[in-house]
Amino acid sequence: MNHDEETPPPTRSLSSENGSAWDFDEKTGEPVSRIVIGKEPPKENKKAVDPGDRIAVGEALRADMAAHWETLTCLHLWRVRDVSGILESAGGGHWPRKLRTLDLRGSEIATLPELPDTLEELDVGWCGELPRLPRNAPPKLKRLYLNACPDLDAGTFLEHLTEQGAPVDEIDASGNQKLKNLDRFP
């Protein structure tokens, strides 16, 4: 092992299927790097998630998320109501600065604030209410999932990805009526 290389800190994950309490807390006492709330939408689902199937995240979890916000590198909010409210209460309206994975599949979000430059994966699949992606795209983005979002406008975001030469190696825009041509991407 090269001693000049920085050893990554141990990871700790928190998860909650119902949004009211943590079901799983891995490595208690370590900094939290990953939070998962909700149930992953089924892969075979081709349509937006029914709003009645979304869960609300309780105040206790929101407060706990705020305490761990700056150490997060992965945030999965699956089929969750009011992502904007969670973002406001946990992060003051901003995403965690070290975030590499943001997975909002099937969640309720009307606007997506500017994304951190560290982001490598963005999944807004089945977020039917989301009208557009932010203007600027993260320069390190590798994977982008926009599937089952029939009205999502990602044009400016995709143009910005191309202009800055982001290392995109995967885009799934199946079921998106506004994105017809992705020839610029692999």
Q: Is residue 92 part of a domain?
A: yes
DSSP labels for 1-23? --TTSPPPPPP-EEEESSSSS-S
The 10s digit of each residue's pLDDT in 58-96 is 999 999 999 999 999 999 999 999 999 999 999 999 999
Q: Is residue 88 part of a domain?
A: yes
C-alpha 101/C-alpha 34 separation (Å) is 9
Let me know if 50 is exposed, middle or buried by CB neighbors in 10 A (0-12, 13-18, 19+).
Answer: exposed
Taking a C-beta distance cutoff of 8 angstroms, is the pair 16, 56 a contact? no
Q: Is residue 119 part of a domain?
A: yes
Q: What is the pTM of this model?
A: 0.88
pLDDT at 48 over 70: no
Q: What pLDDT was estimated at residue 2?
A: 46
Q: Is residue 7 part of a domain?
A: no
C-alpha 12/C-alpha 32 separation (Å) is 5
Q: What pLDDT was estimated at residue 1?
A: 42
What residues make up the domain containing 100?
A: 13-172
Q: What pLDDT was estimated at residue 107?
A: 94
Rounded to 5 degrees, what are φ and ψ at 37? Answer: -130, 130
The 10s digit of each residue's pLDDT in 116-169 is 999 999 999 999 889 999 988 999 999 999 988 888 888 888 888 888 888 999
User: How many separate domains does the chain show?
Assistant: 1
